[in-house]
Homo-oligomer: A and B are copies of this chain.
Amino acid sequence: MPQDFRCDCPFTSALDILGDKWMLVIVKQMLVEGKETFKDFTESEEAIATNILSTKLKLLEEVGIIIKTKRPGNKKTNLYLLTDMGLALTPILVELASWSDSHLRGLNPSIVDGEAMESMRRDKAAFASALEQNYRAKLASMVYE
């Protein structure tokens, strides 16, 4: 069901999957904000509509960027977790944030600028690596809860 690809270009093919307003925002919410459940996503600052959220979560799962699972002993709440394929999007997200930091403040003066942004500016690769490690640590800890 992942839609067709426009051509054989690696840039364009990535955008065939990720090129919309929501796919990478959902990944960011998982990676950076620790969101896991349908409810978590609906409560985000970006205010995604539930029908869109449902559609995009399905697509992310079909592509292999996330997996849908449940906490043991809970039959109600779905957990959405990043796969390796999803975690591999971290450098893209960091480059997007870095570009915003350098070039979008004129258009959107409200863009945040705290400790995290400073650390990103200091060392992008380390920042991306820390985000990924942090998420992997959380995944590892979940197994034993």
Instruction: Count identical subunits in the complex.
Output: 2
Number of interface residues of A (CB under 8 A): 51
Q: Is A32 an interface residue (CB 8 A)?
A: yes
CB–CB B11/A93 < 8 A: yes
A114 to chain B, nearest CB (A): 11
Q: Is A118 an interface residue (CB 8 A)?
A: no
Q: CB-defined interface of A1-27 with B at 8 Å, one 1/0 digit per residue? A: 010011111111111111111101100
Q: Which residues of B contact A103 (CB under 8 A)?
A: 64, 85, 88
CB–CB A88/B104 < 8 A: no
CB–CB A13/B46 < 8 A: no
Q: Is A45 an interface residue (CB 8 A)?
A: yes
- Complex: chain B residue closest to A86, CB-CB: B103
Q: Which residues of B contact A16 (CB under 8 A)?
A: 21, 108
CB–CB A5/B88 < 8 A: no
Contact residue among B6, B15, B91, B97 (Cβ-Cβ distance under 8 Å from A11): B97
- Complex: chain B residue closest to A48, CB-CB: B6
CB–CB B21/A100 < 8 A: no
Q: CB-defined interface of A69-100 with B at 8 Å, one 1/0 digit per residue? A: 00000000000000001001101110111111
